[in-house]
A and B are shown apart, each in its own frame.
Chain A
Amino acid sequence: MKDIVVGAFEVTYEWNAGRAASRFLEGLKQGRILGSRCLRCKRTLVPPSETCERCSGRTEEGIEAASIGTVVSFSIFPRDGGRQGIIMVRLDGADTDLLHLISPGAEDTIGIGARVCAVWRPPEERKGHILDIVGFEPC
């Protein structure tokens, strides 16, 4: 005897970005990539957090990382009938890697070690969102 009951539900959430992420997202609106630097171990965290995840040190805010960096890894996969490229990039000045997109059209030009630059949305279209950066492409 196998009875199956079907159900579904929808829930709406409002996630607090938090202090560190809010500063990062505001920075994106201005075309800047901001991180935080641990006062104890001196690592620069991009995106920023208030506490260093390795040494539990407090961090100082507003450290600007470059919009250019080096590809650490990537994957390009089929999506919505086209392709999407995901990239892990070590921005110059950062001690952590940023997960983001390969700028549409640049997928075949990416390799580990490539130097890539952020492609920004026009200033009037930025919303304080991780996708204010469209993606990364070779410089």
Chain B
Amino acid sequence: MNPVAVIGVGQTHHVSRRQDVNAPELVSEAVGEALTMAGIEPQDVEAVVFGAAIASIQEGFEHVGKWVNDSIGGYLKPCFRVQTGGTVGASAVIGAIYMVASGLFDIVLAAAGTPRAGASGAAAQRALALASDPIYRRGFSGGAVLGLALTFRQYMDRSGVTEEQAAQCVVQQRSNAGRNPFAHLREPVTIKDVLGSRPLAPPVKLLDMCPTSVGAGAVIITSGETVKKRKIPAAWIHGFASITEPATYPGRDPLEARAVREAAQHSYRMAGITDPRQDLDVVELYNACSYQQMHWSEALGLCKEGEGGRFLDSGATDFSGDLPINPSGGVLCTNNGSDAALLRVAEAALQVMGRAGEHQVPDARRSLAMGWGGNQQFASCIVLGQDRP
């Protein structure tokens, strides 16, 4: 593959509600930050890939990307919208990677984010209900939380992890988010807070779940030639993959998490990584629910099968550990359904570029970004590094 790199990253400060900006204005904020970091003008962008998940119902606007294109440099350029559920932000970046790696484009912008016009959580739940089969599934309310609850229970049964360990994940992630000014939920919580929070779909409780956040992110991808010519800092793409599983939740084995496994293995192979636990310095994974960082640790090969709980308990994944998970606070602390996975890539890039500020992991040479969406239908992985591959 032709060498390809991230040269600019942008994100807004994520909050519960923004009443000052519409979709184009919101996404423009993030795009502006990315352009500034990359040292390029909107005119230099040759194509746009925009990611929006469940947007029509959530925003009351069919194809938000259409509206946003005008404000982020889309005029007279190819503009595509992608939709892969919660991993859409990573898919947008992967779309940009394909375009630049092909040699047909040199500078491509990937952006994602929405202002969440649906005025209440009910809009999000209605939107998620619409994502399920109208004949077999839609009558059973529960949306994403139900799917997470069913897998959380299976994971506890099979691996022996406890709700307390899942609560510890929340404690850890909130502590990390305290160092990230762009994160949404930044206040510390205790295990007791999590265990005592309102049950949603047991074993999932309110504080086991990510919030709904308003925000946007942007990533600029360019070729190795341009990095060399412009002499700009870069986070190089070492490996990546998008993998898809069956649409119907009962049609796959959510514990096996095959899409996540295969996306990771494929990315590691491309990146020449044989021991991710040793070769990676920091991981930004998609944790919509507390227990998931343990489950994904196994599926991503960061620890042995069945060892997700012990891996957490070892402290290795804490900010001060040797393989920090989500120094940003992850999706658990910041969740705009459209930019959540893009932020994983953005944060993983910031880490290897040494630009993560207060939440910088020392000596981060190689990072992994992981996205997950469509209630486990889609998984994405991207390995980034300081060195040109």
A binding-site residues for B, Cβ under 8 Å: 2, 4, 6-7, 9, 13, 15, 17-18, 21, 25, 45, 47, 53-54, 72-79, 84, 86, 88, 96-101, 112, 130-131
Contacts and interface: CB of A to CB of B under 8 A. Distances in A.
16 contacts: A4-B19, A6-B119, A9-B60, A21-B135, A53-B247, A73-B153, A75-B204, A77-B201, A86-B142, A88-B150, A96-B248, A97-B251, A98-B250, A99-B250, A130-B139, A131-B139
B200 A112 contact: no
B367 to A, nearest CB: 32
A2 B153 contact: no
Contacts of B153: 73-75, 112
B355 to A, nearest CB: 32
A25 B135 contact: yes
Contacts of A53: 246-248, 251
A78 B20 CA distance: 36
B60 A73 contact: no
Contacts of B249: 99
Contact of B154 (A73, A96, A98): A73
Interface size on B, as a range, is 20 to 34
Majority DSSP secondary structure for residues of A touching B = mixed
Given A53-B248, A98-B250, A86 B135 contact: no
B199 interface: yes
A99 B251 CA distance: 10
B39 to A, nearest CB: 32
Given A99-B249, A131-B139, 9 more contacts: A13-B134, A25-B135, A53-B247, A73-B153, A74-B150, A74-B153, A96-B251, A97-B251, A99-B136
A73 B141 CA distance: 16
A53 B251 CA distance: 8
B149 interface: yes
A75 B249 CA distance: 15
Contacts of B247: 53
Nearest to B20: A2
Q: Closest 7 interchain pairs by CB?
A: A97-B250, A53-B246, A75-B149, A73-B150, A75-B201, A15-B134, A77-B201
B154 A54 contact: no
A21 B136 contact: yes
Contacts of B201: 75, 77, 86
A7 B119 CA distance: 10
A136 B384 CA distance: 48
A130 B142 CA distance: 16
B135 A96 contact: no
B157 interface: yes
Contact of A86 (B20, B146, B248): B146
B140 A99 contact: yes
Contact of A54 (B139, B142, B202, B246): B246
The residue in A9, A99, A100 that gathers the most chain B C-beta atoms within 10 A of its C-beta is A99
Contacts of B154: 72-73, 112
Contact of B199 (A78, A99, A131): A78
B140 A75 contact: no
Contacts of A74: 150, 153
A8 to B, nearest CB: 8
Contact of B135 (A17, A72, A75, A76): A17
A45 B251 contact: yes
Contacts of B150: 72-75, 86, 88
A21 B201 CA distance: 28
B151 interface: yes
A75 B146 CA distance: 7
Interface in B337-359: none
A46 to B, nearest CB: 9
A82 B305 CA distance: 38
A2 B135 contact: no
A78 B206 CA distance: 13
B137 interface: yes
A74 B204 CA distance: 12
Contacts of A130: 135-136, 139
Contacts of B136: 21, 47, 99, 130
B199 A77 contact: yes
Interface in B302-338: none
Contacts of A99: 136-137, 140, 249-250
The residue in A17, A25, A86 that gathers the most chain B C-beta atoms within 10 A of its C-beta is A86
